[in-house]
Amino acid sequence: MDNDNNSSSDMNAAQSRLKQVNDPSGGSAVRAATSVGATSAMTMIQALRSAMDVMLERDDNVVVYGQDVGYFGGVFRCTEGLQKKYGTSRVFDAPISEGGIVGTAVGMGAYGLRPVVEIQFADYVYPATDQIVSEAARLRYRSVGDFTAPITIRMPCGGGIYGGQTHSQSPEAMFTQVCGLRTVMPSNPYDAKGLLIASIECDDPVIFLEPKRLYNGPFDGHHENPVVPWSKHPLGNVPEGYYTVPLDTAAIFRPGKALTVIAYGTMVYVSEAAAAESGVDAEIIDLRSIWPLDLETIVNSVKKTGRCVVVHEATRTSGFGAELVSLIQEHCFYHLEAPIERVAGWDTPYPHAQEWAYFPGPQRVAEAFKRAMEA
């Protein structure tokens, strides 16, 4: 199977779901929902589980494993109940060895399976680096397609849970620099399920980053407020069956005219809060697929607004924002009316007790909006 086979109705469904956020009438969204069957309120955890459930059901070659993934259902419960439903040979626990988890997945991919593996925290992925960078990413290339690694590597990322330096990182830029990988980060349950199904079906290896602060609700950076559950958010309404959200397609999360915000994951909601609080009519682009990138959506927006703020939670230097700023400069220079602003995590390890000083919250983003508007 191949994500190129995504039908246009799937694509329309995804786009109209997003449109519904800003279009309470939701006309097209209703059609989208009927085209993919019944929907129900899901957290991002439930949506991810549903994606794996759907794919385990549809494709005998899909297997799911990782640390604590089998009997217990994962430390974040993303795989709860799947072992019971599909048996221990398709959903199982793995030794505490990220290199082993990814390395076996590469071998299974070469055999013809579609493994979906969980790295318990993105911070733990580094022992698997050689298997990801030198093996999974290059197997198709070096063997001229004789062998491939159609594997999906899921990992919770990002901070805001008092996880300290080893449970809070956002390592996406380490993967976007590797040719042959796809790097994906959903910001809501609807996209999480559709993107995960597309990733499992994709014949390229996919790094699937899950912003864990969004698992239970759209977190906007105001940590002093109670979490709004996904059940109260339109993007928490998720089709129960099969659908895909195409890889390498960004979403306009919030249309606007004053400036363009490029964000992904948790920063989508932080940027939304910053727009509301600053009164700047920001157009927020949710990348969803970080690489390969939907450059067209970005370029069209920046050419329209002439101002741009790039926001990510990962450390600033050599972060993915640097690539975004560079691309915008190459493609939109003569349309820019202000220097491009970057808001990111500081270039320090993710601190524990000081995490809200580290986290690029709505105030920092709003200040960048102000600088971009006043320049």
Partner 1 sequence: MAPYEPLRLHVPEPTGRPGHDTDFSYLPLSEAGAVRRPPVDALATQTSDLAFTLIRVLDKDGNAVGPWAPDLDVATLRKGLRAMVKTRAFDARMQIAQRQKKMSFYMLSLGEEAISCAHAMALTDGDMCFPTYRQQGLLLARDDCNMVDMICQLFSNQNDPLKGRQLPVMYSSKKQGFFSISGNLATQVIQAVGWAMASAIKGDTKVASSWIGDGATAEADFHTGLTFAHVYRAPVILNVVNNQWAISTFQAIAGGEGTTFAARGVGCGIASLRVDGNDFLAVYAASQWALERARRNLGPTLIEWVTYRAGPHSTSDDPTKYRPANDVARFPLGDPIARLKQHLITLGAWSDAEHDALQKELEAEVTAAQKEAERHGTLADGHVRSPAEMFEDVYKVMPAHLRQQRQELGI
Catalytic residues: 167
* Cα end-to-end span (Å), the chain: 49
User: Nearer Cβ to partner 1, position 110 or 338?
Assistant: 110
Closest of 254, 239, 122, 120 to residue 187, by C-alpha: 254
Task: Report the DSSP pairing between strands 251-254 and 237-239.
Answer: unpaired
Annotate each residue in 131-170 with x if it binds partner 1 (CB under 8 A) or - if it does not, as one string: x--xx---xxxxxxxxxx----------------------
User: Nearer Cβ to partner 1, position 201 or 355?
Assistant: 201
Task: Report the DSSP pairing between strands 237-239 and 39-41.
Answer: antiparallel
User: Nearer Cβ to partner 1, position 33 or 250?
Assistant: 250
Q: Is 113 in the site for partner 1 (CB under 8 A)?
A: yes
Question: Cβ of residue 253: shortest distance to partner 1, in angstroms?
Answer: 22
Question: Cβ of residue 184: shortest distance to partner 1, in angstroms?
Answer: 14
User: Nearer Cβ to partner 1, position 182 or 193?
Assistant: 182
Distance CA 11, CA 25 (A): 20
8 A C-beta contact, residue 289 and residue 182 = yes
Q: Is 329 in the site for partner 1 (CB under 8 A)?
A: no
Question: Cβ of residue 306: shortest distance to partner 1, in angstroms?
Answer: 24
Number of H helices, E strands in the chain: 14, 14
Q: Is 112 in the site for partner 1 (CB under 8 A)?
A: yes
Q: Is 71 in the site for partner 1 (CB under 8 A)?
A: no
| Stretch touching partner 1 by CB under 8 A, among 95-103, 167-175, 190-198, 210-218 | 95-103
Judged by CB under 8 A, which of 11, 35, 80, 103 binds partner 1? 103
8 A C-beta contact, residue 174 and residue 88 = no
Distance CA 249, CA 239 (A): 20
Q: How many residues does the chain have?
A: 375
Distance CA 320, CA 311 (A): 9
Judged by CB under 8 A, which of 9, 27, 31, 130 binds partner 1? 130
| All residues at 6 or more sequence positions from 277 whose CB lies less than 8 Å from its CB, including other chains | 362, 366
Question: Cβ of residue 79: shortest distance to partner 1, in angstroms?
Answer: 16
- The two three-digit tokens of residue 292, written as one number: 């390969």
Distance CA 213, CA 26 (A): 27
User: Nearer Cβ to partner 1, position 40 or 88?
Assistant: 88
Q: Is 179 in the site for partner 1 (CB under 8 A)?
A: yes
User: Nearer Cβ to partner 1, position 107 or 351?
Assistant: 107
Q: In what order do the strands lie in the sheet with 259-263?
A: 251-254, 282-286, 259-263, 308-315, 341-345
Return residues touching partner 1 (CB under 8 A).
2, 4, 63, 89-90, 94-95, 97, 99-100, 103-113, 115, 127, 130-131, 134-135, 139-148, 179-180, 182, 202-204, 248, 292-293, 295
